[in-house]
Amino acid sequence: MKAVRSIGTRLVAFFSSLSLAGVLLCLLALLTFLGTLEQAEFGLYEVQRKYFESLFLLHDAGPVTIPLPGGALVMGLLFVNLLVGGVARLRRGLGTAGVLTAHLGMLIMLVAGFVKYATGVEGHVTLYEGDERNWFQSYTETELAIVELRPNGAPTQEWTVADDELRGAGPGAEVALSGLPFGLEVTHWFENANALPKGPMFDVDVPVVAGLFLQGRPKAAQAERNAAGGYVVVTGPDGIRRTGMLWAFDSAPWTVQVGERTFALDVRRERYPMPFDVRLDDFKKEDHPGTSMPAWFSSDVTVTDRMSGDDVSRPVLISMNEPLREEGLVLYQASWGPSNARPGDPLFSTLAVVRNPADQWPFYSCVVIAAGLLFHFGRKLKLHVRRELAK
């Protein structure tokens, strides 16, 4: 029993130690530094996964490979260290009240970060004036979508498969989707590909569809630029196999007739539903006079609540630094385009959409940390000045 207590005490002492805090802070600084430098070559998306969302990683420093703990591990340990050493075991008193408060603020911040990471969803909805949507789409994640097309605007049925499930697909990779009236096989899948015309002077080891074939490419530094694609084989009840080539940057989906029904197969950015509709009524953009530097852009939108059943609509202005917070989602004025539009050309507005339950937690944490540090260091300064003046 004593031995157990001793191990427990040692563990608590280890996890609450100031030395561990110092080591973890230095490790996090190292990871942040390396992750910043690496962005120039590998882009934010890859770097974020490798350095900040991982448990372990191997950093290539020229000819040497250095094993390092990942950002998730370091921040997790920092959380424990802060909780045990910085809050639970901290000596109570006026001298440590400020530090304790600041540590609590940091804990709120780390929890907010974890909640955002674990449950948050990010994407965007891009609208021309008059367009209306009740979904937003991811910047980076891709999905394979099968949509049944029905005449006269009748509700359609939709099946989707996330690209995580399609990575490494090869001939014979059956996709099982309940209710799909045909067999679906993904024979090839590329996380980034280019569609090229097949010339007579070379052979390719993938099917050629309408004179084109998909050529796999290394993943782009900016994940938004990856154009996933693949080949699918649709086998109808009649046993006929039809091969289609799907590509994220294709302007139109591949439509296939199965019996009397028509289906569109498409590779697109992953879509998430919104509990309300957003219609862009007016997009305003002003440049600083005589320049092409944007001074202001904003979107007049109409938000229609479809969930309540009575379809209540209300106008909302979304502008720079003034987002719309609605039913757990936040919509921001993020961008506009096309960038090469001439005066008078129709413009689209891109609203970033985020679902983040911890949206405002960092603000609370900021107030708590500032209060704690100001109290602590203010008190120390006061004591120091008093001592100096007394000399």
Binding footprint of another protein on the chain (CB under 8 A)? 17-19, 21-22, 25-26, 28-29, 32-33, 35-37, 39-40, 44, 47-48, 52, 109, 112-113, 116, 122, 287-291, 293-297, 320-323, 330, 332, 334, 352-354, 356, 359, 362-363, 365-366, 369-370, 373-374, 377, 380-381, 384-385, 388
Q: Closest approach of Cβ 24 to another protein, in Å? A: 9
Q: Closest approach of Cβ 383 to another protein, in Å? A: 12
- Decide whether 147 or 354 has the Cβ nearer to another protein: 354
- Decide whether 158 or 327 has the Cβ nearer to another protein: 327
Q: Closest approach of Cβ 67 to another protein, in Å? A: 21
137 Cβ contact partners less than 8 Å away, ≥ 6 residues apart: 123, 124, 125, 268, 269, 270, 271, 272
Among 313, 277, 286, 317, CA closest to 301: 317
Please report how the helices 71-81 and 94-119 are oriented relative to each other, as an axis angle in degrees rounded to 10: 150
Burial 103-126 (b: 16+ CB within 10 A, else e): bbbbbbbbebbeebeeeeebbbbb
Q: Closest approach of Cβ 219 to another protein, in Å? A: 16
Which residue type occupies 129?
Answer: E
The rounded distance, in Å, linking the Cα atoms of 21 and 182 is 58
- Decide whether 154 or 293 has the Cβ nearer to another protein: 293
- Decide whether 17 or 302 has the Cβ nearer to another protein: 17
- Decide whether 30 or 180 has the Cβ nearer to another protein: 30
Residues of the chain by 3-state class (helix, strand, coil), percent to 5:
35, 40, 30
Q: Closest approach of Cβ 161 to another protein, in Å? A: 27
Tokens of 271: 């879509």
Tokens of 108: 């709120």
- Decide whether 123 or 253 has the Cβ nearer to another protein: 123
- Decide whether 66 or 366 has the Cβ nearer to another protein: 366
- Decide whether 89 or 384 has the Cβ nearer to another protein: 384
Among 211, 213, 212, 210, CA closest to 188: 213
Q: Closest approach of Cβ 47 to another protein, in Å? A: 7
Helix or strand holding residue 270 (H, E): strand 261-287
Q: Closest approach of Cβ 385 to another protein, in Å? A: 6
Residue 22 in contact with residue 74, Cβ under 8 Å?
A: no
Q: Closest approach of Cβ 330 to another protein, in Å? A: 6
Q: Closest approach of Cβ 6 to another protein, in Å? A: 23
Residue 67 in contact with residue 56, Cβ under 8 Å?
A: yes
Residue 175, burial from CB neighbour count under 10 angstroms (0-12, 13-18, 19+) = middle
- Decide whether 32 or 235 has the Cβ nearer to another protein: 32
Tokens of 43: 């882009």
